A = this chain, B = another copy of it.
Amino acid sequence: MTEKISFFMKKYQDRIEELLLDVFPSELSDDPTVKAAMYSLLAGGKRIRPVLMYMVAEMLKLDLEDVDDFAAAMEMVHTYSLIHDDLPCMDDDCLRRGKPTCHIAHGEAFALLAGDALLNRAFERVLLAVTKNPKTASAASYFAGNTGILGMIGGQSIDLASEGKKIETGLLCELHEKKTGALINASCLIPYFIYAADKGEDKKLYDLIHRFSAGTGLGFQIKDDLLDVQADEQVLGKSTGKDARDNKSTFVTVFGEKSAQQMLDDTYADVYAALDELSALGFDVTALRQFSDVLQNRVQ
Contact = CB atoms under 8 A, between A and B. Distances in A.
Interface of A: 24-25, 28, 31-34, 80, 84, 87, 89-90, 107-110, 112-113, 115-117, 119-121, 123-124, 126-128, 130-131, 134, 137-138, 140-141, 144-145, 147-150, 153-154, 156-158, 160-161
Contacts of A90: 109, 112
B124 A144 contact: yes
A154 B33 CA distance: 8
A138 B131 contact: yes
A112 to B, nearest CB: 6
A147 B127 contact: no
Contacts of A127: 126-127, 130, 137, 140-141, 144
Question: This chain: how many copies in the complex?
Answer: 2
B112 A32 contact: no
Nearest to A152: B120
B89 A149 contact: no
Given A154-B31, A156-B113, A149 B120 contact: yes
A209 to B, nearest CB: 21
B157 A32 contact: yes
Q: Which of A31, A34, A113, A158 has the most CB of B within 10 A?
A: A113
Contact of A160 (B32, B126, B134, B144): B32
B160 A25 contact: no
Q: Which of A80, A127, A145 has the most CB of B within 10 A?
A: A127
Given A109-B90, A110-B160, A131 B141 contact: yes
A157 B113 contact: yes
Contacts of A157: 31-34, 110, 113, 117
A178 to B, nearest CB: 11
A124 B150 CA distance: 11
Contact of A128 (B25, B123, B131, B141): B141
Contacts of A89: 87, 107-109, 112
Contacts of A138: 131
Nearest to A89: B108
A121 B148 contact: yes
A295 B140 CA distance: 37
Q: Which of A31, A34, A112 has the most CB of B within 10 A?
A: A112
Contact of A153 (B116, B128, B148, B149): B116
Given A28-B154, A90-B109, A141-B131, A117 B33 contact: no
A117 B148 contact: yes
Contacts of A84: 112-113, 116
Contacts of A149: 24, 28, 31, 33-34, 117, 120-121
Given A127-B144, A157-B33, A25 B137 contact: no
